[in-house]
Amino acid sequence: MRVYIGSDHAGFDLKAALISHLRGGGFKVVDVGPASYQPTDDYPGYCLETGRRVVADHGSLGIVIGGSGNGEQIAANKVTGIRAALAWNLQTAQLAREHNDANVVSIGARMHDEATAISFVDAFLSTPFSHDPRHQRRIDQVAAYEADPVDQTLPES
């Protein structure tokens, strides 16, 4: 499986550790950047590009990393077709894939030690989507809105 990974300065060291770990596990890892530590860089470009590459490469997954992971998740989710989830514990990493068929995981490098962050990524990459009809229905509703936000009706309350 191909995995695209992008970060900002806050996630740079964790990105390097994840690349080494994943390549050691047989994943085809593409480093989306940055190529070198830049203490004043901005995360949106790296996260948007990670998302664009995941969408263009069917069957691939992505990882975005920053200080908290919040902004990185938000940026990646601006790419049509991306379902990025912030993993803040093992269960959220697994459920992102199992229930939401997330294709990008966001990690806060300042929130977790390296071993914990690696465990989140391993869980995310190894958990399959359940294909439960109720989860697929919800994913389809979000995708429909993404495709045409004007022509969507709200559920009855």
Kindly state whether residue 155 falls inside one of the protein's structural domains. Answer: no
Q: Which of 49, 58, 98, 99 is catalytic?
A: 99
**157 falls in which pLDDT band (50, 70, 90)?**
low
Kindly state whether residue 147 falls inside one of the protein's structural domains. Answer: no
Q: Which of 72, 98, 146, 156 is catalytic?
A: 72
Kindly state whether residue 122 falls inside one of the protein's structural domains. Answer: yes
Q: CA-based angle 76:84:103, to the nearest 5?
A: 110
In three-state secondary structure terms, 8 is: coil
User: For position 98, which CATH number holds?
Assistant: 3.40.1400.10
Kindly state whether residue 35 falls inside one of the protein's structural domains. Answer: yes
98 catalytic, yes or no? no
Kindly state whether residue 50 falls inside one of the protein's structural domains. Answer: yes
Q: Which residue's entry shows tokens 């989830």?
A: 85
Task: Write out the residue range of the structural domain in which residue 44 sits.
Answer: 2-130
Kindly state whether residue 47 falls inside one of the protein's structural domains. Answer: yes
**48 falls in which pLDDT band (50, 70, 90)?**
very high
pLDDT for 151 equals: 77
72 catalytic, yes or no? yes
- State the average pLDDT for the chain: 96
Kindly state whether residue 145 falls inside one of the protein's structural domains. Answer: no
Kindly state whether residue 62 falls inside one of the protein's structural domains. Answer: yes
- Interval 53-100: pLDDT, tens: 999 999 999 999 999 999 999 999 999 999 999 999 999 999 999 999
- 3-state secondary structure labels for all residues of 97-109: HHCCCCCEEEEEC
pLDDT for 154 equals: 67
Q: What's the number of domains the chain is made of?
A: 1
